[in-house]
């Protein structure tokens, strides 16, 4: 895969009576080192000044999302293991618990697809069951498939 990538992040939060879908498409950087995939991109938070720098580290059995900037967190997704971390936001800090139930990683020449199903706790209370999907494609590969080059 090339260094320049198109990143599509989509997710579903399944709340009591409602499902909330979100999707973001952005450009970023990709590299592979010691059998791990690294995806980096910047994110703007609506209503706030500043940028959040994101690093996604993908190992064969785990996914880490590290956020630094106006929000910061280190979220660890490991199958059948609950991880706690502090999620710092401009509005205050939260303790989040993540219990990954399923992690699927599909790797192709110009594409990396990751699907994580997990349970999310906020301040020690179950908040929702979630599904996050990451689709990372070489910018060149994305153009070949007719996707916009954001």
Supply the pTM of this predicted model. 0.87
The 3-state DSSP class for residue 139 equals: helix
- Domain extents in the chain: 4-144
According to CATH, the topology of domain 4-144 is: Lipocalin (2.40.128)
Q: Mean pLDDT per segment of 10 residues, for the chain of length 150 residues?
A: 92 76 94 95 89 96 96 95 95 96 93 96 94 93 53
| Radius of gyration of the CA atoms of the chain, in A | 15
Model pLDDT, residue 10: 95
State the Cα angle at 8 between 134 and 138, rounded to 5°: 95
Strands (E), 34-124: 36-44, 51-59, 62-69, 73-78, 82-89, 92-108, 111-122
């Amino acid at each position: 895969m090339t260094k320049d990538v198109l990143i599509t992040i989509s997710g579903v939060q399944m709340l009591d009576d409602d499902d909330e879908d979100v999707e973001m498409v952005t450009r970023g950087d990709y590299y592979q080192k010691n059998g791990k995939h690294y995806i980096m991109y910047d994110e703007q938070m609506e209503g706030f000044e500043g940028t959040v720098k994101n690093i996604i580290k993908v190992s064969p059995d785990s996914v880490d999302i590290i956020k630094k900037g106006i929000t910061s967190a280190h979220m660890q997704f490991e199958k059948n293991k609950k991880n706690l971390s502090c999620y710092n936001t401009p509005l205050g800090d939260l303790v989040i618990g993540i219990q990954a139930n399923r992690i699927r990683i599909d790797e192709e020449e110009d594409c990396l697809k990751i699907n994580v199903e997990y349970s999310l706790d906020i301040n020690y209370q179950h908040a929702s069951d979630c599904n996050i999907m990451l689709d990372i494609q070489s910018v060149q590969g994305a153009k070949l498939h007719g996707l916009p080059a954001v």
